[in-house]
Chains A and B, each alone.
Chain A
Amino acid sequence: MKKSTIRKMVVLAIVAVGVAGVTVWKNLPFTQRTGARSFQPPPDSAIPAGKFGDVVRFGEQIFRDPATYAAPFVGNQLRCSNCHLETGRQGGASPMWAAYTAYPAYRSKNGHVNSFEERLQGCFRYSMNGKAPKLGDPVLVALESYSYFLAKGLPTDETAPGRGFPALPKPPLPADYARGSEVYAQNCASCHGAQGLGQSSGGQVVFPPLWGPRSYNWGAGMTSIKDAAEFIHANMPLGLGGMLSAQQSWDVAAFINSQVRPQDPRFNGDVEQTRKKYHDSPYSMYGRTVNGAVLGEPAFTPPAGTVPAGTDTGPVEAN
């Protein structure tokens, strides 16, 4: 074989490997492409047999369908897996394995060191607009067991790659409601509905409500425009993460978080004071005037903690 032929073949082989590499890379989830994920949590088949495995499995069931398996504590139509994608396994979508190894941790939200269980309580109180299970409740134990299982082999580390949502630079222009409504109509409404109320299939909520009385309340971390923009940019539209620009992500996050949603459970009766105490951030729209109405104003803000009637573990109000 001639030297030049060999050289040509080598060049061709290098090009072929390069093309194949790019093809594989393009098909990876956005968070993998950006290198945010390096840890591989174990699959369901690795859940051990026996009592502990049963509790891990129960935790995963709650995670997928909290309204069924943790009904007394859920006040809206969201599932844990709506934000913690791939049942809490996907890096860049607040994976549970990275959360597990990051606790106990100090949280400025409540000003003390929180155990992992206490952190889970916050999810129920705010994101699920429900009631926090008591520490040691089987629901919290199951979720903790499931998260522990997912984190197997991951060292204790509050900065595990893939934790939370990938950081997103500030956009060239300040986040804008009007532009965000356009982004929403074009990219989000066909699933989440023009009114943001989500959509069901066969009586089960498939696309979660993003605002309104059955979505996360004003105390949830997702009400931060920054957090929402990061989540959206990395993960939305579902399966097509990275499609929206940073500007589009910030704009649509501002639009979504400028809508009516259930009250902050820490509301003290005064919107302005509640804003000053808990929402003193340029990323929160709580207490701000949008379309002539003050967000959080009790007159048109659904109540916090609306768990289904008859499932409340606390005192039940008479009709």
Chain B
Amino acid sequence: MRWEGHRRIWIWTVLAVGSLIAGVSRLAPAIGDEPTFATGYRIAVHGVSPERPSCSSCHQQNGAGQPDVGIPRLAGLNSSYIAAQLEYFATGARHDPVMSPYAAMLTPVQRQAVADYFASLPVPEQPDLAQASAARVDRGRTLFLDGDYRTGLLSCSQCHGRTGLGVGDFSPQLAGQSADYVAQKLHQWQSGDPRDPKGSFMRAEASHLTQSEIAALAAFVSSLQGKETGKP
């Protein structure tokens, strides 16, 4: 009898604890079933793990990034572009020692939510960090809009648009990005690293650039105003 009673309590305890675990684990994905703004905001600002800093620790809550240390602006980028890059980081198709483990912690829905969040933010005013000369910006403008048929460089505007606003998940918005980050990426492509599965385009274009042309393009791009933003 005593044994029977103990067994009953034991079974009930197992059932109770089990259903509690099942309930909680069912609840957890339920929070992020839809890529809602709230989910995106929570991930961006609070992160998904108490041991890890959030996106905003580096990219800032307003998505401005930290131009002086080459952390890119995310505010106003196309959400499909951000989501695609997060997927590349998560799957190893694009590697970055900082970003890869973060992206891998997120579910596809969470990646979309946080992409939507940053895409919805207005592009912050770009602090004038580059201090580029007018001549350098002009040189960058010519390369950006016309390319250079003598070296085989296509115009950047042919994919990113004449105002640098980009197209969908293919060509990111460049307007409002910092000169440091743009130069850093162009150097990466020029070194032969495709960066991501669609990087062969930029690797080909960067191979046509000289160091002073990279500086000129970076200066011009950072001078573009990313006004029309927030649309995926």
Contacts and interface: CB of A to CB of B under 8 A. Distances in A.
B191 interface: no
B interface, how many residues as a size bin? 20 to 34
B3 interface: no
Interface stretch (A25-33, A124-132, A247-255, A280-288): A25-33
Given A32-B152, A237-B201, A239-B205, A190 B161 contact: no
Given A238-B159, A239-B201, A239-B204, A191 B152 contact: no
Contacts of B26: none
Interface stretch (A82-90, A221-229, A304-312): A82-90
The residue in B150, B170, B171, B204 that gathers the most chain A C-beta atoms within 10 A of its C-beta is B204
A48 B200 CA distance: 38
Contacts of B166: 201
Interface in B145-162: 146-147, 149-150, 152, 154, 157-162
A240 interface: yes
A268 interface: no
A191 B159 contact: yes
A43 interface: yes
A202 B164 CA distance: 8
Interface in A156-209: 190-191, 199-202, 204, 206-207
A239 B206 CA distance: 11
Interface in B161-209: 161-163, 165-171, 198, 200-201, 204-205, 207-208
Main secondary structure of the interface of B (DSSP, over half): loop
A43 B160 contact: no
B163 A86 contact: no
B147 A86 contact: yes
A238 B160 contact: no
A201 B201 contact: no
B96 interface: no
Interface string A4-46: 0000000000000000000000011100100000001101100
Given A191-B159, A238-B201, A239-B201, A206 B150 contact: no
Contacts of A85: 154
Contact of B163 (A190, A191, A201, A237): A201
A243 B201 CA distance: 11
Contacts of A28: 152
A309 B162 CA distance: 26
B228 interface: yes
A199 B168 contact: yes
A191 B147 contact: no
Interface string A41-55: 101100000000000
A41 B148 CA distance: 12
A32 B151 CA distance: 10
Contact of B160 (A27, A201, A237): A201
A94 to B, nearest CB: 14
Interface in A75-96: 85-87, 89-90
B161 A202 contact: yes
A22 to B, nearest CB: 13
B103 to A, nearest CB: 20
Interface string B206-225: 01100000000000000000
Interface of B: 146-147, 149-150, 152, 154, 157-163, 165-171, 198, 200-201, 204-205, 207-208, 228
Interface of A: 27-29, 32, 40-41, 43-44, 85-87, 89-90, 190-191, 199-202, 204, 206-207, 237-240, 243
Q: Which 6 A-B pairs have the closest CB atoms?
A: A201-B161, A86-B149, A29-B152, A202-B165, A89-B149, A202-B163
